[in-house]
A and B are shown apart, each in its own frame.
Chain A
Amino acid sequence: SQTIHQWPATLVQPVGSPLSLECTVEGTSNPNLYWYRQAAGRGLQLLFYSVGIGQISSEVPQNLSASRPQDRQFILSSKKLLLSDSGFYLCAWSVHGYYGYTFGSGTRLTVV
């Protein structure tokens, strides 16, 4: 069965520190992968999506970057965190066609 793993669940980081959030998918090949951010009480903002290894599309200019070193691995990174990077980060995957997205359980990032 297909599963998605996202970790850590919560993270408190100081301003200026680096960030690495990892997401892995099991049970499917060549998925579309996504990073979303959700601010408190708001909808989801698409940050990055990838349709294949090494293929990353950025939706919003920001302090973050993403990489897809393997087919089922998606990494969200920052060299220096800002206070405004705080939020709930969600990884998701989908396949081509009329299917919904499957989301990970999310990472609550607090930059202090």
Chain B
Amino acid sequence: SQQGEEDPQALSIQEGENATMNCSYKTSINNLQWYRQNSGRGLVHLILIRSNEREKHSGRLRVTLDTSKKSSSLLITASRAADTASYFCATDASGANSKLTFGKGITLSVRP
């Protein structure tokens, strides 16, 4: 079963704009992770946020986590055409990093 559900399902923006993607989940988690997938390729880990963290930054990425609302957001600032990809949130409920549950993903298109 899928724990995370991303929103929106698809997003199209102009290069230079910010992209905000949301993820909601249903059960308690130990940490939440965001991944990126280019078409036909494997997933690449972007960022991990622990359940006791509220915000985390990595380069142009900013992730927030609200455990009371069971939701997370991924913000990509100053988007580039190369950011075009699918983005997935994944939750780890076990705490042992033994099993991630992925959402269905968001397709981001950045127009040059």
Where the two chains meet, the residues of A that have a C-beta atom closer than 8 Å to any C-beta of B are 6, 32, 34, 36, 42-44, 46, 49, 51, 88, 90, 92, 94-106, 108
Do most interface residues of chain A lie in helix, strand or loop, or is the interface mixed?
A: strand
Residue contact A103 to B99, C-beta cutoff 8 Å: no
Assuming A43-B88, A43-B104, A100-B48, is B42 touching A90 (CB within 8 A)?
Answer: yes
Chain A: which residue is nearest B101 at the CB level? Answer: A46
A6: chain B residues at CB < 8 Å are 42
A66 CB to closest chain B CB (Å) equals 14
Roughly how many angstroms separate A10 CA and B46 CA in the complex, as a whole number? Answer: 26
Q: Does B2 lie at the interface of the complex (its beta carbon under 8 Å from any beta carbon of A)?
A: yes
Chain B: which residue is nearest A59 at the CB level? Answer: B99
B75-103 vs A, CB cutoff 8 Å, 1 = contact: the mask equals 00000000000001010000011111111
Residue contact A32 to B102, C-beta cutoff 8 Å: no
Residue contact A98 to B31, C-beta cutoff 8 Å: yes
Given A32-B98, A98-B50, 4 further pairs, Cβ under 8 A:
A43-B102, A49-B98, A95-B97, A101-B33
Chain B: which residue is nearest A94 at the CB level? Answer: B97
A39 CB to closest chain B CB (Å) equals 10
Q: Does B45 lie at the interface of the complex (its beta carbon under 8 Å from any beta carbon of A)?
A: yes
B4 CB to closest chain A CB (Å) equals 8
Assuming A43-B2, A98-B31, is B103 touching A106 (CB within 8 A)?
Answer: no
